[in-house]
Amino acid sequence: MAIELQAPKGTKDMLPQDAHKWNYVENTFKNVAKTYGIREMRTPIFEHTEVFSRGVGDTTDIVQKEMYTFKDKGDRSVTLKPEGTAAFVRAFIENRLFNEAQPTKLYYIIPAFRYENVQKGRLRQFHQCGVEVFGSKEPSIDAEVIAMAMETLKELGLKDLHLHINNLGCPNCRPKYNEALKKFLADNYDGLCDTCKSRFEKNPMRILDCKEKKCQEITKNAPIILDFMCEECDTHFNKVKEYLDILGLPYTVDPGIVRGLDYYTKTIFEILNSDFTVCGGGRYDKLIEELGGPEMQAVGFAMGIERLIMTLDKEGIEIPNENLVDLYIGDRGEDGKKYAFKLAHDLRDLGVNCEINHMGRSVKAAMKFANKLGVAFTTILGEDELQNEKITLKRMSDGETFEVSLKTIEEIKNIVKC
């Protein structure tokens, strides 16, 4: 008995009928990125584990519970990429992009891997598009990155968008907050989950991001970081808000946002559609230095492609599905089949998307198949057409026909591509 093979749990096939949705999201993102002068960069699908344990933070759920880490044949610990930022910082440092004129503005579209509970909107292999901007400490770049994310979502057709922002402070003011938070949590220490107990001394702020209900109940009245900001962080946050006001972008200051990664400093943000987070990001001013590079600031964001597509479907937003085939060429007889084969080849050279009858279908069955494909035009090539050196093109949308000489394939192209 044959073994029935299935995709691993938490992974999903992208089927041909869905490809246009992915292309729509990715192309929209790329086009908006170009208007902001953001260039593409690609990094390997796996990295040395240290890139993420040091970069993402060893007290995060990602590092503690979710990374796909293994030893390669050289006994080196490597990890499938769980997110894009740390890998981009590694590449930025290794390729000495910090020596170029700043800021360096980059985008990516990547698969990412996290071993987490599979549920709606969460997969173990998922895909992200994101932006990283290196080299500027100005609040204006925070606002520009947020604006680019918002514009991408609006270009996709999403309307019910809510921007939430917060400030996580810096190494100067965060220690005071951590002490206040630990003092608050101490009375309820025994009620914390085991993971949060391990975070209590090293990184108590990470407890605020715990998904366990009992921990969320304990932290709901915890002190907020905004009450402990130093003058520099307070000034930076106020200027970010000023720039958002200049752009007319409404926002909510939400002290409950901490994000799930340790590298964030100062500005962080999330964009919600209804109550569903579709984008998140922020500033990470110490990560480049922490991974061995120069002291240099950075800010970025990521949005999940599967989650975006799911949100577009939920909102009833129709994603354009362009005709894959401009012209379907049916045939009658062996000579018609051979001529159709050559005609399709010549038209493809001119940029016309063509399909021919590779299944020996009858004319009626071939036209039924062409209609199922959603082609723009159809035609039939048989003995009469070859003798007269003319074909009739039928526009499928309204049934209108056009008689064209086989000697002028440029005219065929002009009709079917109009």
Question: What strand order describes the sheet that includes 354-356?
Answer: 354-356, 327-331, 377-381, 390-395, 401-405
Q: Is 280 annotated as a binding residue?
A: no
Cα 195 from Cα 189, distance rounded (Å): 12
Q: Is 264 annotated as a binding residue?
A: yes
Q: Is 55 annotated as a binding residue?
A: no
Q: Is 387 annotated as a binding residue?
A: no
Q: What's the angle, vertex CA 44, arms to CA 38 and CA 45, rounded to 5?
A: 110
Task: Name, in order, each residue with C-beta under 8 angstroms of 200's C-beta and a sequence gap of 6 or more.
Answer: 182, 185, 189, 192, 207
Dihedral sign (CA 77, 82, 86, 92): positive
Q: Is 128 annotated as a binding residue?
A: yes
Q: Is 328 annotated as a binding residue?
A: no
Q: Is 322 annotated as a binding residue?
A: no
Q: Name the 3-class secondary structure at 318.
A: coil
Q: Is 259 annotated as a binding residue?
A: yes
Q: Is 395 annotated as a binding residue?
A: no
User: Could you report how far apart the first and last alpha carbons of the chain are, in Å?
Assistant: 53
Cβ(326)–Cβ(417) below 8 Å: yes
**What's the number of CA atoms in the CB half-sphere (13 Å) around residue 161?**
25
Residues of each annotated binding site for L-histidine: 83-85, 114, 128, 132, 259, 263-264
Residues of each annotated binding site: 83-85, 114, 128, 132, 259, 263-264
